[in-house]
């Protein structure tokens, strides 16, 4: 495997910042370790790491990592065993968990947050990354076989990942829950991108499962969903958030993106 400093330098040469290059190298190592130790059947990769890999766009680089376990406990002992398996699968790198995990619980989510340290002899200071680990419990939502490219020289990491349709539906659920108070404006641009690659019929199914079928969500039909979205999209407190440079990774006008998303979802009738 290429030394970590070489991987970082190559990514910076390809347009990544120093911070995002280091984060991507750390994520790539974790993904490759999961692939090597055969953890594909017990996990699915979520969030920004999938969006970054799916788009191939440097502007959608992410600092953190999210995965869900499938049929595997998220007890403290299980999480430690998981990290131990990763470390054994990557003898080229010193991979360790920093301190105990932190338990996370909110809305439909329960999980653990861990911090990982990764180092080889080519760097003075270890790379660090945050990994949030949840549980994938919806058996009606199919996971995608996904090949994560990396810059290690060791080949791709073949794992399971959330599909574009699942990612879209879960981001939509978060938006409906939080409305104008949402602190994830980047999700709007992610959803705009995903609307161009998602299978519309499958997305309809997942919206019904993840949103309308969710007993903790107040919205249970298309008309209510569109009413709530229009109210949120009309608020200046919300639209101002879309102007943040880091949020607008597509570099498109916010009003155009909101109008396109509205028209796209209106077509689900």
- Mark whether 135 and 249 lie in a shared domain: no
- Mark whether 146 and 175 lie in a shared domain: no
Res. 213: pLDDT tops 80 = yes
Residue range 19-75, pLDDT digits in tens: 999 999 999 999 999 999 999 999 999 999 999 999 999 999 999 999 999 999 999
Phi, psi of 186 (to 5 degrees): -60, -30
3-state secondary structure 137-197: CCCCCCCEEEEECCCCCCCCEEEEECCHHHHHHHHHHHHHHHHHHCCCCHHHHHHHHHHCC
pLDDT band at 233 (very low <50, low <70, confident <90, very high): very high
Domain end: 104, 139, 162, which one? Answer: 162
- Mark whether 13 and 125 lie in a shared domain: yes
pLDDT band at 216 (very low <50, low <70, confident <90, very high): confident
User: Helix, strand or coil for residue 64?
Assistant: coil
Res. 107: pLDDT tops 90 = no
Q: Which helix (H) or strand (E) holds 68?
A: strand 65-69
Helix axes 200-207, 164-178, angle to 10 degrees: 40
Can you give the residue range of the structural domain that contains 214?
A: 165-266
- Mark whether 119 and 194 lie in a shared domain: no
Structural domain count of the chain: 2
- Mark whether 29 and 126 lie in a shared domain: yes
Q: What is the mean pLDDT of the chain?
A: 94
Res. 206: pLDDT tops 80 = yes
């Amino acid at each position: 495997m290429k030394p970590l400093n070489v991987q970082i330098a190559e990514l910076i040469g390809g347009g990544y910042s120093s911070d995002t290059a280091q984060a991507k190298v750390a994520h790539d190592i974790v993904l490759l370790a999961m692939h090597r130790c055969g953890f594909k059947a017990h996990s699915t990769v979520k969030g920004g790491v999938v969006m970054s890999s799916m788009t191939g766009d440097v502007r959608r680089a992410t600092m953190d990592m999210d995965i869900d376990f499938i049929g595997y406990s998220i007890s403290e002992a299980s999480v430690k065993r998981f990290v131990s398996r990763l470390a054994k699968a990557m003898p080229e790198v010193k991979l360790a968990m920093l301190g105990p995990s932190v338990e996370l619980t909110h809305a439909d989510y329960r999980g653990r947050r861990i911090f990982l340290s990764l180092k080889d002899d080519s760097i003075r200071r270890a790379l660090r990354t945050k990994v949030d680990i949840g549980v994938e419990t919806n058996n009606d939502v199919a996971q995608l076989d996904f090949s994560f490219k990396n810059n290690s020289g060791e080949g791709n990491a073949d794992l399971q990942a959330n599909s574009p349709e699942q990612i879209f539906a879960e981001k939509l659920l978060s938006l409906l829950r939080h409305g104008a108070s949402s602190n994830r404006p980047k999700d709007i641009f992610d959803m705009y991108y995903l609307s161009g690659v998602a299978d519309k019929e499958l997305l309809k199914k997942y919206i019904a499962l993840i949103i309308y079928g969710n007993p903790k969500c107040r919205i249970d039909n298309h008309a209510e969903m569109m009413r709530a979205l229009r109210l949120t999209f009309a608020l200046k407190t919300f639209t101002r958030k879309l102007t943040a440079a880091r949020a607008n990774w597509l570099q498109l006008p916010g009003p155009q993106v909101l109008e396109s998303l509205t028209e796209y979802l209106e077509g689900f009738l």
